[in-house]
Amino acid sequence: MSCEKLYLTAPEMLECTARVVSCTPNKNDGYDLETDRTPFFPEGGGQLSDIGTVYDPMQGFVPVTHCFEANGTVLHRTGKPFAVGEIVTLKVDAAKRLKYTQQHTGEHLLSHAYDVLFGAENVGFHMAGDVVTIDLDHDLSDEEIEAGEKYANELVWKNAPVRIFNVDASELPNLPLRKKNEKLHGEVRIVEVEDGDHTEMCTCCGTHFMSTAPVGLIKVLEHMRYKSGCRITFACGVLALEHFTKENAELRRTAAALSVKPDGVFDALARKEEQVQGLNQKLREKNAQLAKLYSEKLHAEAQENFIAAYLPVDFDACKTIAETLCADDKFSAVLFCNESDRLRYICARGKNGALDCRAAAQKINALLGAKGGGSPVTSQGSCPKTAETEQKLREILSEPLQNLN
């Protein structure tokens, strides 16, 4: 028994009564419901499936979480079974249908724009919950992306008519289709948008408006090189508004934090970046001075060209001090510091130093329960800072060189 697909013949019809043809359990602990007619669009052609409800007097409103096509009919995924032959009411979620249709019609317009302006062919289309992407076979510049976006939006604002009709596949070579597909056969659905001398015409199984105005707005969110062309991420209508609302709120929050107007955020961040770079340079200079002072002090305190010490510096400074000490090719050092509530260590030696840094790391790891390693010349690691590890650290600091090898 064939299913009457109202989403194709009457896309504005979002609710209808229908007779249950079959209802079978699926692998997801739910049921796949088949009816003799449906307004639900099944996922396909890049468009997400409709969701909504099935109603009967005994069970009330049962959610339809997904729809898909199988063997020429539409199956509705539900959480409850329905009796074969009973009459139910199918109702599509209108807000979701509007959002999905805006994206799909908008995708046709945007793809058409890049084809007309730059001869870029759409070779991929994907609709996710919050964004839509198209893949083009040409890489486009920022200016070309903006030009295509403007062209598509002008089509929206013209409220251009959209015509949907069916033809036999044998007639396709005679039509000015944007994309050719020689594998199609039988009856083929065509979506046409009037655009003067550049009428948009494409085969499509998705839902569309009767004119372009309901798309509302087409906004490119980002674009990037993809394979030999580019991938464009965009949003239309309700989805575009959601993106703008979210991003505008973030922009205003950032502007408030920087004490500037929204259009001054970039310049304010540039000034902050310059300040940070200046402070980082001063910090590097101070750390170098600190490392020099610690190196001189530790070198003077060392016995037999070896020192083990715990330092009140961060790990980067600890490494710099170790490198400075071991510029003396006979010197060896095991240095510890505290960073983010972890004990960190570095073992280092000069070219002719006596310490085996790999062996030292293994012994430190065993004593502290630390993780780390390295080579005979240098090694490093870390462990959580606790009262127990601090006590064991004091024991390590009192160890002579030979006990760490």
Instruction: Measure the CA–CA gap between 38 and 3, rounded to whole angstroms.
Output: 7
Tens digits of residue pLDDT in 54-99: 999 999 999 999 999 999 899 999 999 999 999 999 999 999 999 9
Predicted confidence at residue 28, as pLDDT, reads 86
Quickly name the fold that domain 4-92 has: Elongation Factor Tu (Ef-tu); domain 3 (2.40.30)
Q: Can you give the pTM of this predicted structure?
A: 0.77
Percent of the residues in the chain that have a pLDDT greater than 90, as a whole number? 86
Query: Would the pLDDT of 401 be above 70?
Result: no
Query: Which CATH number, 3.40.50.970, 3.30.200.20, 3.50.50.60, 3.30.980.10, labels domain 98-256?
Result: 3.30.980.10
Q: Where are the domains of the chain?
A: 4-92, 98-256, 290-404
Residues in the chain, how many? 405
Report residue 5's pLDDT band, with 50, 70 and 90 as the boundaries: very high
Got the DSSP string for 197-236? GG-EEEE--S---SBSGGG--EEEEEEEEETTEEEEEEEE
H or E element, residue 142? helix 142-157
State residue 65 phi and psi, 5-degree precision.
-95, -15
Q: What is the pLDDT of residues 206-242, one digit of tens each?
A: 999 999 999 999 999 999 999 999 999 999 999 999 9
- Percentage with pLDDT > 70 across the chain: 99
pLDDT of residue 212: 98
| pLDDT band per the 50, 70, 90 thresholds, residue 284 | confident
325 token code pair: 């000490």
Q: Which helix (H) or strand (E) holds 135?
A: strand 132-136
Angle at 132 between CA 127 and CA 135, to 5 degrees: 100
The residue that leads in pLDDT, 180 or 159, is 159
Q: Which pLDDT score, from 0 to 100, does residue 102 have?
A: 97
Q: Residue 42 phi/psi, 5° resolution?
A: -85, 145
Work out the pLDDT band at 108, boundaries 50, 70, 90: very high
Is 290-404 CATH 3.40.50.300? no
The torsion angles phi and psi of 182, rounded to 5 degrees, stand at -75, -10
Identical fold between 4-92 and 98-256: no
Q: What is the pLDDT of residue 146?
A: 98
Mean pLDDT of 8-20: 95
For residue 1, name the pLDDT band (cuts at 50, 70, 90): low
Whether the predicted pLDDT of 149 surpasses 70 = yes
* pLDDT interval class at 405 (50, 70, 90): confident
Q: Is the pLDDT of residue 258 over 80?
A: yes
Q: How confident is the model at residue 288 (pLDDT cuts 50, 70, 90)?
A: confident
